Amino acid sequence: MASGIVAPVSGTTRWRWLSHDGLRPWRHRTRIVRRDPQFARKAGRVRDRYQRRWRGAAPGPRADVLSPDEKTRIQARQRKHRSVPSAAGRPISVEHAYRRVGALADRGARDGHRAQLFGRGARPNGIASLERLIAQVMVVSPVMV
């Protein structure tokens, strides 16, 4: 355009041309490339747990398959003023202002075969709260689940 070889084209015309040709440069897909050569073996171990298999054999009907997880750095907040409960013809009134009171971690485990959840909120203090979660899970009898 600067050298006068082509005429200026409006943005609307460019979009019309792209649409007519079925081109949509604003759309894209992302993908994950597996870089670990041991991915299939490692993923297979996880898949086997969900299919109730351990080292190629079924471990038995009383075996538990737990999936632990953790969400860290949850901001604990406390409202600066109490909420006013609802009454006839008036909705609940909640103050939006709050103060931060630290961070928590939510640790949990799920037994996918019995639809049982185990969990606890904890201060993020490393392995100790994870060990407490494991102790909580281990004292529950599979018969109770």
Beta-carbon contacts of 48 under 8 Å, excluding residues fewer than 6 positions away, are: 54, 56
CA atoms within 13 A on the CB side of 48: 13
Query: Where does the pLDDT of residue 93 fall: very low under 50, low under 70, confident under 90, or very high at 90 and above?
Result: very high
**Mean pLDDT estimate for the chain:** 79
Q: Report how far residue 110's alpha carbon sits from residue 112's, in angstroms, rounded to the nearest whole number.
A: 6
Radius of gyration of the chain (CA): 28
DSSP state of 4: S
- CA separation (Å) from 92 to 76, 85, 89, 95? 22, 5, 10, 10
DSSP codes of every residue in 111-126: ETTTTEEEEEEE---T
Q: What is the mean pLDDT of residues 8-36?
A: 81
Per-residue pLDDT, averaged over 94-112, amounts to 82
pLDDT interval class at 143 (50, 70, 90): very low
Neighbours of 133 (CB within 10 A): 19
| Domain range annotation of the chain | 60-83+99-145
Residue 94 clears pLDDT 50, i.e. is over it = yes
Asked if residue 140 has pLDDT above 70, the reply is no
Find the mean pLDDT for residues 122-127. Answer: 68
pLDDT average, residue stretch 9-33: 80
Beta strands, E only, the chain: 66-79, 98-111, 116-122
pLDDT in tens, 38-85: 988 888 888 887 777 877 788 777 677 777 777 777 888 889 999 999
